[in-house]
């Protein structure tokens, strides 16, 4: 698995590299503003899976460090999504 930098999508050579080197793409937005989704839509970049964390986890976006429990919930949510995308059994 590779992790890509969201702003790299707007760099033409990086965009081509991402598209060429990734069989599956997952996009994770932290909040309902959906900055990543809007950027991907603008550059017509497809994704195989999409997560918007604040809605899935039913939390509000706040300006403070997350609790350990929230960190675990975020990790588990992403792990389940990745496993499903890659066809792994949980």
Domain ranges across the chain: 6-86
Q: Which of 5-9, 12-16, 36-40 has the highest mean pLDDT?
A: 36-40
Instruction: Report the Cα 86 to chain-centroid distance in Å.
Output: 14
Q: Is 36 exposed, middle or buried (0-12, 13-18, 19+ CB in 10 A)?
A: buried
**69-83, pLDDT tens digit by residue?**
999 999 999 999 999
Average pLDDT for 4-31: 85
What's the whole-model pTM score? 0.79
Question: What pLDDT does 33 receive?
Answer: 93
Percentage of the chain beyond pLDDT 70 is: 96
Average pLDDT for 32-50: 90
Distances (CA, A) of 89 to 5, 22, 60, 84, 86: 27, 21, 30, 7, 9
Whether the predicted pLDDT of 6 surpasses 70 = yes
């Amino acid at each position: 698995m590779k992790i890509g930098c969201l702003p790299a999508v707007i760099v033409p050579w990086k965009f081509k590299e991402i598209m060429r080197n990734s069989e599956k793409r997952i996009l994770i937005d932290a909040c309902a503003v959906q900055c990543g989704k809007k950027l991907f839509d603008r550059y017509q970049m497809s994704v195989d899976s999409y997560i918007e964390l604040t809605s899935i986890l039913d939390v509000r976006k706040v300006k403070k460090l997350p609790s350990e429990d929230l960190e675990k919930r975020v990790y588990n949510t992403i792990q389940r999504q990745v496993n499903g995308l890659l066809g792994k059994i949980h």
